[in-house]
Amino acid sequence: MAGGVSRPSRAATGRGLLPALVLALTAAAPAWAADTFDLHHFWDQRCEECHGHAGRFAHTFLSVEGDRLVGRHHRDDLMRFLGNHGVPAARVKPIYDMLLAQARTAGQFATTCGGCHDSAAGLVRDSLEMRDGVLHGRETGRPVAEFMKRHARLKPDEVPFFVDLLVRIEGEVRSPY
C-alpha cells in the first residue's frame, strides 16, 4: 500500500466478477450441462436483442422452400450468412436446423401453451428430461406422452405433435454440438 492509498479489489471494480460468476454458474449447472450446448440460450444471448425470440423470428422472416430454409434477404445460402453474422462455425448447422424446425411449426406452442408456459425451451430446461430415449417429467418421472393425454384439453391427435416438438427442443437445449 504505497502512500497510504489502498486499491479496490478486483471484485469491487468488476474485473473479477465475470470469473466468479462463471464459477458460480458452473457449480450450479445440472449434470447434463457439462457436455451439451443450449442452442436456444445461445440465440437468447447473441441474437434476441436485435432479432427477437427465435420462433417468432423464424415465422416472420424465414420460409421453407422444399427442405431449405430461406431468408427474405439471404435466399441463396442462409447457412453461410449465419456463419458471417456471428454464429461460430460449429454452431451454424445446429442453429440453422433449429430455425428450420421452428419455421415449420407455425407457432403452435405459443398459441396452445403460451398462456401457462413462457417458452418451450424454458419448459424443457426446467421440467423435462430424457430417460432411456423417452421424455419424462423431471419431478413426476412420468413419460410426457402419457401426461399430455390429460393435459390442457389437448385432443388425442394433437398429443404426438407436442411430444415430438418437446423432444426436438430437448435435443436443442441439450445439444451435443
Sequence-distant (≥ 6) Cβ neighbours of residue 24 within 8 angstroms: none
CA distances from 55 to 20, 22, 32, 37, 142 (A): 33, 28, 24, 18, 27
Task: Please write the tens of the pLDDT for every residue from 113-158.
Answer: 999 999 999 999 999 999 999 999 999 999 999 999 999 999 999 9
> For the whole model, what pTM was predicted?
0.77
In a domain, 2, yes or no: no
Task: Please write the tens of the pLDDT for every residue from 5-37.
Answer: 444 444 444 444 444 333 333 333 444 455 789
Cβ contact 169:122 at 8 Å = no
Q: What is the pLDDT of residue 1?
A: 46
CA angle centred on 80, ends 75 and 82, rounded to 5°: 90
> In the structure grid, which three cell numbers stand for residue 14, read together?
468488476
In a domain, 74, yes or no: yes
In a domain, 125, yes or no: yes
In a domain, 111, yes or no: yes
In a domain, 106, yes or no: yes
In a domain, 25, yes or no: no
Phi and psi angles of residue 125, each rounded to the nearest 5 degrees, phi first: -55, -45
In a domain, 18, yes or no: no
In a domain, 39, yes or no: yes
Q: How many domains are there within the chain?
A: 1
Q: What is the pLDDT of residue 41?
A: 96
Task: Please write the tens of the pLDDT for every residue from 38-92.
Answer: 999 999 999 999 999 999 999 999 999 999 999 988 788 999 999 999 999 999 9
Cβ contact 128:135 at 8 Å = yes
Q: Which domain holds residue 74?
A: 35-173
Cβ contact 86:33 at 8 Å = no
